[in-house]
Amino acid sequence: MFGKFTEKIEQYMEQINQFMRKMEASIQNQGASIKNLETQIGQMEVAISSRALGTLPSNTEVNPKEYVKAITTKSGVQLPEIYVKRLVANKERISSTGQSGTDWA
């Protein structure tokens, strides 16, 4: 009877030891992950501090669509150039007078 009790305690102790080994391995893995994160943050800090203040991190390009004076509908139909010119003239008139109108014809 005392032998079974001792055997149970030894099994329990072995389970505890296995659990402790798993926890130690997990803690070591977490430590390595934290070191990697610290390295990455340091690299990001260097990259950010080397960038000039007041500038964008990349080169910008002028939007080529800004100069296009054509209107195309969703179905692909292109409006006549006369209508487009009237819209542009009306927008210019509105911006110069500050009034909004809907007589585009």
Write the pLDDT tens digit of every residue in 17-52. 999 999 999 999 999 999 999 999 999 998 888 777
Q: Can you tell me whether residue 78 is helix, strand or coil?
A: strand
pLDDT of amino acid 105: 47
How do residues 3-16 score in pLDDT, each as one tens digit? 899 999 999 999 99
Mean pLDDT of the chain: 78
CA–centroid distance for 69 within its chain: 33
Whether 45 is covered by a domain: the verdict is: yes
Please give the model's pTM, rounded to 2 decimal places. 0.43
Looking at the structure, do residues 23 and 5 belong to the same domain, yes or no? Answer: yes
Phi, psi of 86 (to 5 degrees): -65, -40
Question: How many H helices and E strands in the chain?
Answer: 2, 0
Residue 71, C-beta contacts closer than 8 angstroms, at least 6 positions apart: 78, 79, 83, 84, 87
103 part of a folded domain = no
> Is residue 104 included in any domain, yes or no?
no
Give the domain extent around 86.
64-97
How many structural domains comprise the chain? 2
Instruction: Name the pLDDT band for 97 (thresholds 50, 70, 90).
Output: low
